[in-house]
Structure 1
């Protein structure tokens, strides 16, 4: 038999379940929703960037729009009134079709492919280190090649400067030999003249050039040692970098071209306009481009600049010295040639004067002999065979006590006066003849001195012309001077009487 329940009281809640029971179910559901939202938000924020986390002060339906707003393109007004859309600045992939540029994604948790990604990154680091080592080795090798080229140029210039210095020293020996040979001239020809002054001036100029070139040689020797040390240092660092690279899959020049650098230290050429070179990386003590490599390259660059300046200075000095020495030698030879010409003219004048005096002496001698004959004729005959037929020797003799009566005769007085006058003329002629002979001897001595001086100066000019030939080396000139030293000293010339 059915059981009849008592009628319930009328109420507005038509639900049968108890309110406590419903509240417990709602509480469990709300808690599940909160846990779900919280875990989902935490799960998302664990691998999303920090700036992508939703702002709690912004409504949920507005978070996405506020987050995407910085990604959109910016519209800029140009000068002509037109507009242009530009992507926002910063890193990221630009989506031109959707006019958006999301920022770079930086996750805070490792992704499932973390191991592979880290292996790829490690391989990239190793490859980058190998490339850096090859590039640094290429830079060091190229710098070493340039240093070697500068070493060769410097050595060649040193050889040229040394040859010129040998020519200058040979010029000093020739100058000393010229001065010594001029000491063999007679004493009248050793009066100081312009040729002696020019020889002294040549000696001072050659000494000045010698000191200047010796300083250049010392400076170049110091620079040569620095270049050699820098070359060895670059070679050591290059070998040290190459030890990190076992397989060189491309030549070092190709590495430099890939880096956009045809040279790392060369300052003599402009960079190739087709390629834009990379900047020099900062020195890294634990990287491939260490501070030691940086110092070596900077030192190589400094030495290259200094070597170029030194080479230009040495070449200019060598050219100037060669030209100056040639001008000095030509001036000395021209002065000696002018002195030879003047000596030759004086010698010819003295020779003509000697000829005239010789004729005068001959005439005076002949005239003196004729006067002697005349004096003998005036004295009268010595033998009977000298008498003429009209003359007689039977004149009466007069005996006197004080004076011979013949002295009072006109013929005897005139003959005595004529004989005395003739004797005085004979003595005067003899005196003049002696004076002519003395002057003739002096003139002959002077003429002989001029001849010797002419020969000495001519020999000096010939010697200088022969020694200026490039085939005559310094050792031959030195042996010639030593042979000249073995001679006796210039003989002392007696003074002209």
Structure 2
């Protein structure tokens, strides 16, 4: 016998509909689970993200550490260039001080030579050498002052570059607190000594990790355009420092050579002038000796002529004449008894007196002229001795202060 359903159709439809809805929800849930399983992260996603973030930060810190090392090495090289420029500046200042001392010594020499007697102050070759030395030293002083100003300007630029490097180094180093400060250097110390500055080829290849710019330069990376600009400026300054250092060294060597040459030429001129002065002083002494000898000879002749004149004139009083000295002595009176018999005794005595008087006058005039010449010779000798002493004092002063240790 066939079993016929007792429940109504509506009642069955409601139950079947509930079952169908449940089956659909089951399928939808299973589909969503599959889809969400593929989409949703794994359970250890938090740790995974932490590891990724730490890796990115560590990579950036290491890259920045190389940039910091590059900046630090550049700063060290810049410091060495600054030291070299400071040494060059000190050498220039020492050379300028020596030139100022030489100028002062030149003035002292001219002053000592001006203390000579008036007749010995005529311009000579030594004065020309002193003037030439003074002009030469002034020109050297102006050249060294120009070099000194150039070195000062370069030192100011180095100070600005060092300040920029230090500021950038401090800014870049803010992300390197948690990484080791030791890393493979971007360039060796030996290459730094050889080249004097890190070149673009020595920069780290990991700079600017994640950057898209050329040569790893990225405004948001570790190697920023500011780093590139600061390093390039520092390299340019270091190259200029090398050129300036060599130029200053050559200039100082040339200045020292020219100073010694000028100093030696003036000293040689003074030595020659002293030698000439001493030679003329010796000649003047010989001439003065001849003059004294001639004066003594003339005085002896004057004395002889005066005595001879007195002998010829005889006594002043007639009563003092002896009988043989009188013009009217007996033999003469007897001789004159005949007409025309005259003796030229009186005329000859008068003529002899005139001769002696003329001889005395000439001799005394010559003695006066010789004495005047003697005084002039003695004055000239005294002037020559004073001039030689002044030149010798100037020469001793120059030799004493030639080492500039005063």
The TM-score normalised by the length of structure 1 is 0.64
Q: CA deviation at 1:245?
A: 1.7
CA distance in 2 between counterparts of 1:204 and 1:333 reads 16
Residues 77, 196 of structure 2: 8 Å contact kept = no
Q: State the distance in 2 between where 1:188 and 1:391 align.
A: 59
Listed one character per residue, the Cα deviations across residues 161-185 of structure 1 (whole Å, up to 9, x for unaligned) are 1011000011111111211222222
Partner of 1:133: 64
| Residue matched to 2:145 | 214
Q: For the residues of structure 2 that align with 1:229 and 1:341, how far apart are their CA atoms?
A: 60
| Residues 385-396 of structure 1 aligned to structure 2 (within 5 Å) | 395=329
**In structure 2, what is the Cα distance between the partners aligned to 1:331 and 1:368?**
54
> Is 2:203 the counterpart of 1:269?
no
- Aligned residue in 2 for 1:356: 290
Alpha-carbon spacing, 1:114–1:255, altered in 2? closer, same or farther (3 Å): farther
Q: Counterparts of 2:157 and 2:203 in 1: how far apart (Å)?
A: 29
C-alpha deviations, 1:423-457, integer Å up to 9, x for none? Answer: 11111111211221222222112111111111111
Q: Distance in 2 between matches of 1:389 and 1:436?
A: 44
Distance (Å, rounded) in 2 between the aligned partners of 1:276 and 1:154? 25
Which residue number in structure 2 is paired with residue 326 of structure 1? 260
Aligned pairs (5 A) from 1:90-489: 115=45, 120-251=51-182, 254-256=183-185, 260-262=186-188, 266=192, 268-269=194-195, 278=204, 281-382=215-316, 395=329, 409-472=343-406
Change (3 A) 1:166 1:446: same
8 Å CA contact 1:138–1:255 kept in 2: the answer is no
Specify the SS of the correspondent of 2:175.
Answer: coil
Deviations 1:56-113 (A, max 9, x none): xxxxxxxxxxxxxxxxxxxxxxxxxxxxxxxxxxxxxxxxxxxxxxxxxxxxx99979
Query: How many residues matched?
Result: 351
Stretches of structure 2 lacking an aligned partner (at least 5 in a row):
1-37, 208-214, 333-341
* CA deviation profile, 1:12-44 (whole Å, cap 9, x unmatched): xxxxxxxxxxxxxxxxxxxxxxxxxxxxxxxxx
Task: Note the aligned Cα RMSD (angstroms).
Answer: 3.3
SS of equivalent residue, structure 1 residue 429: helix
1:348–1:365 Cα change, 3 Å = same
CA distance in 2, matches of 1:110, 1:197: 103
By relative contact order (CA 8 Å, sep 6+), the higher-ranking structure is: 2
Shift in CA distance, 394/443, structure 1 to aligned 2, threshold 3 Å:
closer
Q: TM-score, normalised by structure 2?
A: 0.78
Residue 409 of structure 1: CA displacement? Answer: 3.9
- In 2, Cα distance between equivalents of 1:278 and 1:238: 16
Distance 2:84 2:313 in 1: 102
Distance 2:326 2:348 in 1: 20
Q: Distance in 1 between matches of 2:403 and 2:190?
A: 46
Gaps in structure 1 of 5+ consecutive residues = 1-46, 48-108, 399-407, 473-497
Quick one: structure 1 residues 457 and 271, their matched pair in 2 at CA, closer, same or farther if it must change by over 3 Å? closer
2-structure distance, mates of 1:270, 1:182: 53
Name the SS of the counterpart of 1:243 in structure 2: helix
